[in-house]
Structure 1
Amino acid sequence: MSAAHLTGLNFRQDYFSDPAAWAALVSLLDDTFGIDIDPLRDLGGPDPTSMPFGWFTDEGVLAANLSAFAMPFVLNGRLINAAGLQSGAVRPPWRGRGLYRDVTQKALAWCEAQGFEAVILYTDKPALYEKYGFRPLPLHKYVGQAPIAMDHSGSRSLQPRDTEDLALLQGLLATRKPVSETLAVASSPAMFLINTLLDTDVRLSYLEEYKAAVAWKMPADGHFALLDVVAAEIPSFAAILAGLGILATTVETHFRPDRFQWSGKAVPYESGTRLMVRGPKGSLDHPAMLSPLADF
């Protein structure tokens, strides 16, 4: 028996070019998670590789959705041709009717047809995806003593909603080097840009000398958190602190810092969500995590 027969809904795929359907997705995610993704329209639009799968009412309400998109990432030194799954939600009146299972199966079938060798996602319900072959990856950040900063080289704040800054960021994102050889995204511009807006504690700075955009936080006095670096060549941690003019006592990176001429202690990253992978077998060669700016 089809999901359409059970619900009386209409299935749609690849609908991001329809303003009304996009607005329905924005409404679904805002109502379900309290997350507003509509600013993506001002940041270059949704990821052009996105493929949404959704069930709509005749009135245009989106009852259930799951979206897939290309998200290549580095795993243990190898570039993985991967897809990500995001924006999975079902409105309360339509839960328990098999809609989420339906869009998950459709999304995974599409990923296989596109030739992706892996699929990744974040979830707070890992058991929901284990039956589809997903396994959780343990996440670790790195914490340690701050490196000795070099002479201050200067930086400026970046505002993604500023036209010139957005163009600069888009250029850097198009040619970025992954921040780690162990686990890091190779390309995910839309996620980086929207995450700089969703988390108001994130600061974004541009180091002109190194042509690098740095996403960072200062969660406590003397403590610096490096979230992501977007550049064709990665500067050292000491150069980043110097460029930002920050004197820190302790620092942390939300990825394995194997390209930053600094090392710290791997510490489990506590979060309400888990990163899950369906695809290449094996575990991480070293403790690691994806940058929060790649969160989806």
Structure 2
Amino acid sequence: MSNTTDSEGLILRQDYFNDPSPWSALVDLLQDTFSIDISLQDQFCGPDPTSMPFGYFDETGRCVANFSAFSMPLIINGRVVRAAGYQSGAVRPEWRGRGLYRDLMQRAFARTKAEGFELDILLTDKPALYERYGFRAFQQHVFVGPPPETAGPLPPARRLSLQDPGDMRLLKTLLQDRAPVSGRFAVAGQMEMFHLNACFDPDIRLSLVADTTVVAWKFDGGTLRLLDVAGPAIPSLAAISSALDLRAERMEVCFPPDRLDWDGTPALYQGYTWLMMRGDAADNIDGPVMLSPMAEF
């Protein structure tokens, strides 16, 4: 961790996640700004060890501004792309308008460029803020269609609990060894956000299919919404549907379904954030894509 002091009397801290005090101060900043509790990561495996946080702190140790980068390798058209994600961007109201956010962004962008990342990716509800830095917005799509033919009798899926230590150990193992859920566009390795997103949304259900794969899903009584699949291999949608045994009338897959042995029709995703990317790898994306909701950051 490195510290410097700026003209405002603030202390700039970098790579501080191994220090409990500034980490707790960032937790407070994001709780106050977005009403999210990232300290839930401590229940699973702690903060992402690839994180590169940049934050300004006042003399009392309060975090007044932050912007973080982290490693988020992606599969794009069958190739592993070394991508950097950006998150936890926030400034306390009384410190806005002083250029702190821009300063921290530029520091993070310079760091990932120096470390050789070939793609930058973020999610935002303010795309114009990042377009000036060369980011391009990508409209996300879900994939919808009728249920597949049943795969025959299969052992029923087992629900997993975020409160069960054994289930959480199993989830961590499967996320560490997971195959990308798509060969077109998918996370190649990232597990902290999967756990956080499962905690943030109580409607998300996690089920173990065939003792080897965790499926994240929602069901509204008619539509099975498949959010993500984590395991050493990707089962067919027919196998997943049979194991869940939900009698769905409609499928909605929230990632490209090329590994599910099922074809869906792309439909615009009705989310409140834009997926934005910059880099040569982004120029090679053709056709509709979506980042799994379990990988949102």
2: CA distance between counterparts of 1:291 and 1:155?
21
Q: Helix, strand or coil for the counterpart of 2:286?
A: coil
What amino acid is the match of 1:203?
A: R
Amino acid at match of 2:140: L
Q: Structure 2 CA distance, aligned partners of 1:11 and 1:114?
A: 20
Give 4+ residue runs of structure 1 displaced > 4 Å after superposition. none
Aligned counterparts, 1:24-39, within 5 A:
24-39=25-40
1:159 to 2:193 alignment: no
Q: Which residue of 1 aligns with 2:197?
A: 195
Matching residue of 2:136: 135
Query: Which secondary structure does the structure 2 equivalent of 1:232 belong to?
Result: coil
C-alpha separation between the residues in 2 aligned to 1:132 and 1:288? 22
Matches within 5 A, 1:114-153: 114-150=115-151, 151-153=153-155
Where do 1:94-113 residues align within 5 Å? 94-113=95-114
State the number of aligned residues.
Answer: 292
Q: Which deviates more from structure 2 when the two are superposed, residues 167-176 or residues 224-233?
A: 167-176
Contact between 2:5 and 2:11, CA under 8 Å: does it hold in 1? Answer: no
Where does 1:44-63 land on structure 2 (aligned, <5 Å)? Answer: 44-63=45-64
1:95 and 1:133 map into 2 onto residues whose CA distance is: 23
**1:208 Cα deviation after fit:** 2.9
Rounded Cα–Cα distance in structure 2 between residues aligned with 1:17 and 1:290? 29
Q: Which residue of 2 aligns with 1:78?
A: 79
What SS does the corresponding residue of 1:214 show, helix, strand or coil? strand
* Partner amino acid, structure 1, of 2:226: L
Question: Where does 1:217-296 land on structure 2 (aligned, <5 Å)?
Answer: 217-218=218-219, 220-280=220-280, 281-296=282-297
Cα pair 1:226 1:252 within 8 Å, conserved: yes
Structure 1 residue aligned with 2:180: 178
Distance 1:234 1:170, change over 3 A: same
Secondary structure, counterpart of 1:241 in structure 2: helix
Note the alpha carbon deviations across 1:41-79, whole angstroms, 9 max, x for none.
011101111111000001011010011110000112221
Distance in 1 (CA, whole Å) between partners of 2:291 and 2:276 is 11
Range 188-197 or range 154-163, more displaced: 154-163
CA positional deviation for 1:3: 8.7
In the alignment, the residues of structure 1 paired with residue 154 and residue 75 of structure 2 have an alpha-carbon distance, to the nearest angstrom, of 32
Greater shift in the superposed pair: 64-73 or 281-290: 281-290
Contact 1:126 1:136 in 2 (8 A): yes
> What's the CA shift for 1:284?
2.4
Which residue identity does 1:95 align to in structure 2?
R
**What is the CA-CA distance between 1:259 and the residue it aligns to?**
0.4
Q: What per-residue deviation string (whole Å, max 9, x for no partner) do you get for residues 224-244 of structure 1? A: 000000011100001001111
Counterpart-to-counterpart distance in 2, 1:283 and 1:128: 23
Query: 1:69 aligned to 2:107?
Result: no
Residue 126 (structure 1) shift: 0.7
Q: Give the alignment's Cα RMSD to 1 decimal.
A: 1.4
| CA deviation string 1:199-235 (max 9, x = no partner) | 11100000135x10000001x2221000000011100
**Structure 1: runs of 5+ lacking an equivalent:** none
Distance 1:137 1:3 in 2: 38
Q: Distance in 2 between matches of 1:230 and 1:223?
A: 21
Distance 1:271 1:3 in 2: 39
Amino acid at match of 2:167: D
After TM superposition, the score normalised by the length of structure 1 is 0.96
Taking every aligned residue pair, what percent have the same amino acid on both sides? 51
Partners in 2 of 1:265 and 1:223 — Cα distance? Answer: 15
Unmatched 5+ stretches in structure 2: none
CA distance in 1, matches of 2:178, 2:98: 43
Counterpart position of 2:10: 9
Query: 2-side partners of 1:283 and 1:272: how far apart?
Result: 25
Cα distance in 2, alignment partners of residues 193 and 228 from structure 1? 12
